[in-house]
Structure formats: C-alpha cells, structure tokens
Amino acid sequence: MRYSAFSIIRNALSGNRNWKPAWRQPDPKPHYDVIIVGGGGHGLATAYYLAKEFGVRNIAVLEKGYLGSGNVGRNTTIVRSNYMLPGNEPFYEFSMKLWEGLEQDLNYNAMLSQRGIINLFHNDGQRDAYIRRGNAMWMEGVPAELLDRAALKKMLPYLNFDHARFPIIGGLLQKRGGTARHDAVAWGFGRAADKHGVDLIQNCEVTGIRRENGVVTGVETTRGFIGCAKLGLAAAGNTSRVGQMAGLKLPIESHVLQAFVTEGLKPAIDHVITYGAGHFYISQSDKGGLVFGAEIDGYNSYAQRGNLATVEHVMGEG
C-alpha cells in the first residue's frame, strides 16, 4: 500500500480497518543469496539498496530483537555533513543528499527537519579550528557559515552570553543539517526493503557461523540453521562478537554512548546546538522533548542502558 493523502482519506472512510502491516512476518527460508545480520539502519539500508539498485532478490535481514531495537532507535537523531577530513566530508555529504530525497524514495515520513546545526566556540583557538572546518566543507562544495557573537545573539537569544564560565564567542552553522526521526529510519527502510521482497526476520539471533573450507555456508540461529551464499554483518557494537563466530578478530571496541530526552515541553529550541567547552549538545524533538547528547562510558561494554551519573554530568555541562 502506497502512503499518500488519498490513502489516509480512503482508510478514514472505511474506519481505518484496512491498513496493511508495514512489512510481512515471513518464516526463514532454508537458503538465501544474501543474509544480513542486524536489523538496524545499516542492515536494512544495505538490504534495500542491494534489492533496489543491484536487483538482488533473495535477501534476509536477521534481527535478534525487533527492527530498530539497536542504536538506530535510540540516538540523538542528528543528520549533518559538517566534517573536516577529506574522506569524511564527501561521505557524509553523500548521505545528506540521500536524506534530501529519501522520504520520497521510501514513501515514508522520517520527519527530516533541516533546522540547522550550530557548533558554538568559546575561545580563539576553537574559532580558528571552526574556520578551518568551514573552509574544508566549502572545498567539498558544502555550505557553512561562521556566525559572530552578534549574529548568534539574534539567532539564539536564550543562551547565556555574558556570565558563563566559557563565554560564547561565535558558532559554525550548517543550515542543511538537522534531525530525522530515528526509528522511522528503520521502519522506512524496512518497509521499502520488504516491498522489494527482502525477508525481515525478527526475534532471530545469529548464534554461530557455519563454514566449509573457509567459506561461509550459513548461520546458526535461534530459529534454526539458515544457509546463504553471502553474509553481511551490520550488528554495530556486536559486530566483533558476531565476527568471532567466523574466527574473525575485528579491530573494534564497543562502549556505551549515552543520551537522554525529557518529557514534552513547549517549543523553545529551533536548532541543534553543540557546546564547545564540554560534551553537551541539545535539540528539541517534534514531540517537544529536549534531547541531550552525552559521552561514551570509559570502559568497554555491550550494554544498552544509560545511568543517572551521566545524566547529572551532562546537565552540569549544559
């Protein structure tokens, strides 16, 4: 079913009883051409583009929980391409451009909001670094604006310009940066991949990788053995664990990265703002919650939970 104003009206007239589920719930087949481990943004997008751009038809995404139960459904929703290094900037700009047509492509409202991202700076050295970064962005054809104190005061009058321990002296603005609803990214890619025939198999944890003569032939899962010709790993921090199942020792360390959100408040903050003198950034979600970004824990872990000590620390920084 294509989502549109007409489909909303048609379904409203029939008492909203005829909406179809966004994707099927297939049982795993015995064999796939491609299996992707991990139903997050990367796994689902990989399946979608393999099917759409490369015509691969027999694909499964295996997810140990539900789609979007990993990082993609619990992040601070920022989309941006305000990077400096030559490899980084074109990569992120490519994805910004994808974003700008993605909702139409997926026929899914991911609530992309190009509200602008502003990196504040608090001393001369930092200002020079942001000038450099802005210039590096321009070199890749990506617009960036350096704002002085007066321009910032006009744009963000509620910030503490005069009495803060680290006074704000300016900011770097990327107007096209902003936010997108994080779990809608998973749902949109999932639904679109399903339309291309990709089997999305939830509650299916990969517990082993079977190999013959060094070649992967399939995966052991909590729903039995599933054969495959190619295997892709998109299990985020758990990629090192899944890789170990095939004897791979990947150079990846996993840490918890914490963030949190308040209950809904009246609209107050229009942009994404990062504070340059500590680890703190803030935006306001479309539901009104203030979204705070924080730090990684200093020790390795595969956990997915935050804690009050970090909440306190971030509030102190902000």
Ligand X SMILES: Cc1cc2nc3c(=O)[nH]c(=O)nc-3n(C[C@H](O)[C@H](O)[C@H](O)COP(=O)(O)OP(=O)(O)OC[C@H]3O[C@@H](n4cnc5c(N)ncnc54)[C@H](O)[C@@H]3O)c2cc1C
How many residues of this chain interact with ligand X, rule: CB under 6 A? 30
- The angle formed by the CA atoms of residues 178, 181 and 185, to the nearest 5 degrees, is 110
Q: What are the residues whose beta carbons fall under 8 Å from the beta carbon of 141, sequence distance 6 or more? A: 93
Distance, CA of 299 to CA of 251 (rounded, Å): 16
- Residue from 28, 36, 41, 119 in contact with ligand X (CB under 6 A): 41
Q: Show the CA angle centred on residue 52, arms to residues 50 and 56, nearest 5°.
A: 50
Question: Which residues does residue 34 pair with via DSSP β-bridges, in sequence order?
Answer: 59, 230
Q: Which of 1, 3, 65, 225 binds ligand X (CB under 6 A)?
A: 65
Cβ of 113: how many Cβ atoms within 10 Å? Answer: 17
93 binds ligand X (CB under 6 A): no
Kindly identify the residues of this chain, within the stretch 19-38, that bind ligand X according to CB under 6 A: 37-38
The minimum distance between CB 67 and ligand X, in angstroms, equals 7
Alpha carbons within 13 angstroms on the beta-carbon side of residue 256 total 13
Looking at the Cβ atoms of 80 and 195, the one nearer to ligand X is 80
Instruction: Indicate the burial class of 20 (C-beta count within 10 angstroms; 0-12, 13-18, 19 or more).
Output: exposed
- For ligand X, the closer of residues 31 and 241 by Cβ is 241
Name which position in 34, 59, 60, 62 contacts ligand X (CB under 6 A).
62
Segment contacting ligand X by CB under 6 A, of 3-11, 99-107, 118-126, 235-243: 235-243
Nearest CB to ligand X, comparing residues 121 and 281: 281
Within residues 160-219, the interface with ligand X by CB under 6 A covers: 205-206
Question: How far apart are the C-alpha atoms of 132 and 137, rounded to whole Å?
Answer: 9
State the residue number with the nearest CB to ligand X: 40
Report if residue 77 touches ligand X, rule: CB under 6 A.
Answer: yes
Token couple for 262: 């308040």
Q: For ligand X, which is the closer residue by CB, 127 or 174?
A: 174
> Which region, judged by CB under 6 A, interacts with ligand X, from 3-11, 17-25, 57-65, 168-176?
57-65
Query: Which of these, 221, 245, 219, 239, lies nearest to 231 by C-alpha position?
Result: 219
- Distance in Å, CB of 63 to ligand X, minimum: 5
Provide the 10 A C-beta neighbour count for residue 87.
8
Using CB under 6 A as the binding rule, the residues of this chain from 99 to 128 that contact ligand X are: none
Among 286, 292, 296, residue whose Cα is nearest residue 262 = 292
Give the one residue of 235, 240, 275, 285 binding ligand X; rule: CB under 6 A: 235
The C-alpha atoms of residue 277 and residue 58 are separated, in whole angstroms, by 50
The residues in 239-268 that bind ligand X, with binding defined as CB under 6 A, are 242, 257-259
Contact 174, 89 (CB under 8 A): no
Q: Residue 220 in 3-state DSSP? A: strand
- Tell which one of 28, 34, 35, 76 touches ligand X (CB under 6 A): 76
Q: Considering only residues 63, 89, 93, 199, which one is a binding residue for ligand X as defined by CB under 6 A?
A: 63
Which residue lies nearer to ligand X by CB, 192 or 236? 236
* Binding residues vs ligand X (CB under 6 A): 37-43, 62-65, 69-72, 74-78, 205-206, 234-236, 238, 242, 257-259
